Structure 1
Amino acid sequence: MKEYSTVKQLYMRAFPKYEREPWPWMMLKSHFKKADFMAFYERQCFVGFAYIIHSHGFHYILFLAVNDQLRSQGYGSRIIAELRKLYRKDSLVLDVEQPNPQARNNHQRLRRIAFYRRNGFYLTSKKIEESQMTYRVLATKKRINQQGVDRIFKWFAWPLGWFIQ
């Protein structure tokens, strides 16, 4: 893709270092049927990307970002609408930083949840605890297979993870 470096630079800017996965690892995993790295365009203008991991009955949006110069113009909602059309019968699942009144970016966390709720996502009871952050899982269906979410991350992290069903 001609915008390869543009996509990579957006990825580096849009996500803090502790949230990012190694770029070569993401590229490698996207060559398998369980993961897709998708770029979105409007009239040949790059507007954003999504990195999605597929499982039985749901599609986990691991990363979604809109081009910095085009934010707040509805492109995030349009990308989600396209993904919902593409995966019509299954649930889309993603995670966001859990709100925390002591966090400097708590207002941003709340706005992000509100954005996803406006776009048809529901808060689930699933949380992902990592060393630096706790994440809340949202999905376009009210119930999710929580063990399935765990399997997604095992597949992504494990070098031979494509054997995990």
Structure 2
Amino acid sequence: MTVVLKRVNNENIDEIKKIYDDSFPKEEMVPYNKLVEISNDTDHLFYGIYDDYTLVGMNYLIVKNDMLYIFYLAISKAYQNKGYGKAVVNEIINKYSNYRICLNIEEVNPKFLNNNQRIKRKSFYQLLGFESQDYLFSNYEGVTFETMSIYGDVSYKEIHALFDYFKKLR
């Protein structure tokens, strides 16, 4: 399996939107057209994830100083549990090893109906080397997340600044 990241473009924009819409709850989404609009080649990187010529997922990365934030990462339901998520995260870790890499996962807590899914997601990232930053953060819709990172700590203030930026786009 070889995963390749290809920028969102006119040829794949609709297929990537479908993966985005199918993968994230509304209260965790920035309007898709805004993501496309602000994506570029420097600090807002919006990609389709391909295995050869087959679109298997999407991700949105933000580069800020010495930090890379994995804002969105989703594998299409048809390709889940086939190793693509691990391959993409490893590709990101290798490509951006000079950066502190971070992401947010939904809070792990037994009060949530999908807590087992949340536990599996956290374990997945831990197996890849990510560590909890030991704080919780709520987005503008009240969804609570835990920040995880690899290659260095990421402060609450840094995550808050990213979410403030995206709050303005809603």
Query: Do they superpose with TM above 0.5?
Result: yes
Equivalence for 1:141: 151
Helix, strand or coil: the match of 1:18?
helix
**What does the per-residue CA deviation read over 1:76-132, in whole Å, with 9 as the maximum and x for residues that have no partner?**
000001111221111211001111112110001101100111111111123212343
Q: How many residue pairs get matched?
A: 159
Equivalence for 1:22: 31
What is the Cα deviation at residue 66 of structure 1?
0.5
Helix, strand or coil: the match of 2:26?
coil
Answer whether contact 1:66 1:76 (CA < 8 A) is retained. yes
CA 120–158 in structure 1, closer or farther in 2 if over 3 Å, else same: same
TM-score, normalised via structure 2 length:
0.86
What is the Cα deviation at residue 38 of structure 1?
1.3
Matching residue within 112, 116, 127 for 1:107:
116
Equivalence for 1:155: 165
Answer whether contact 1:97 1:109 (CA < 8 A) is retained. yes
Equivalence for 1:94: 103
Unpaired runs of at least 5, structure 2:
1-8
Identity %: 25
Answer whether contact 1:123 1:142 (CA < 8 A) is retained. no
Matching residue within 32, 43, 49 for 2:52:
43
Larger relative contact order (Cα-Cα within 8 Å, sequence gap ≥ 6): 2
Q: Which moved more, 1:141-150 or 1:84-93?
A: 141-150
Partners of 2:97 and 2:15 in 1: how far apart?
A: 29
TM-score, normalised via structure 1 length:
0.88
The one-letter amino acid paired with 1:100 is N
Partners of 2:165 and 2:138 in 1: how far apart?
A: 18
Helix, strand or coil: the match of 1:26?
helix
Equivalence for 1:162: none
Unpaired runs of at least 5, structure 1:
160-165
Partners of 1:132 and 1:107 in 2: how far apart?
A: 21
What is the Cα deviation at residue 32 of structure 1?
6.8
Partners of 2:61 and 2:120 in 1: how far apart?
A: 22
Answer whether contact 2:30 2:166 (CA < 8 A) is retained. no
